[in-house]
Amino acid sequence: MARVLIADDALFARVLLRKMLTDEGHEVVGEASTGREAVEKYAGLRPDIVTLDIIMPDMDGITTLRKIKEIDPKARVIMITSVDSEKRVVECIEAGALGYIIKPFEPSQVLSEIKRVLSRKPEGRPGETEQ
């Protein structure tokens, strides 16, 4: 199962995600309530996957995503947000997100997206080869 970092400013969302992930056998290795905290925790923990809220204090999720990708171009990040707009989805994908979930979410939707993203081969920078 996967090691997961949950980044969301809403405590309720973090608690809900933690429960559904641990109930499925995943290990939540860390939680962050701000973008800066998410970047710091990613650098130290190197989780298999990150769930990342777009709207957070101090640094929005897309900026956070870009900073995580600077640390690790192969980072697997799923954006979670209440903002449902095609423009925002495209922006997230262009920044390197591998998945996108709209709040409110169902556990089956989150777990399915985690499974889908984990099954993808990590992508690095162009020309980079897997070792």
Residues 93, 63, 42, 86: what is their CA dihedral angle, to the nearest 10 degrees? -30
Using DSSP, state whether 83 is helix, strand or coil. coil
Mind listing the pLDDT tens digit for each residue in 14-53? 999 999 999 999 999 999 999 999 999 999 999 999 999 9
Whose tokens are 């993808």? That residue is: 120
pLDDT of residue 33: 97
Report the predicted TM-score, pTM, of the whole model to 2 decimal places. Answer: 0.90
Q: Is the pLDDT score of 131 beyond 50?
A: no
User: What is the topology classification, in CATH, of domain 3-119?
Assistant: Rossmann fold (3.40.50)
Q: What is the chain's length?
A: 131
Average pLDDT, the chain: 90
Q: What is the Cα–Cα distance from 3 to 26, expressed in whole angstroms? A: 6
CA dihedral for 91, 95, 98, 104, sign (positive or negative): negative
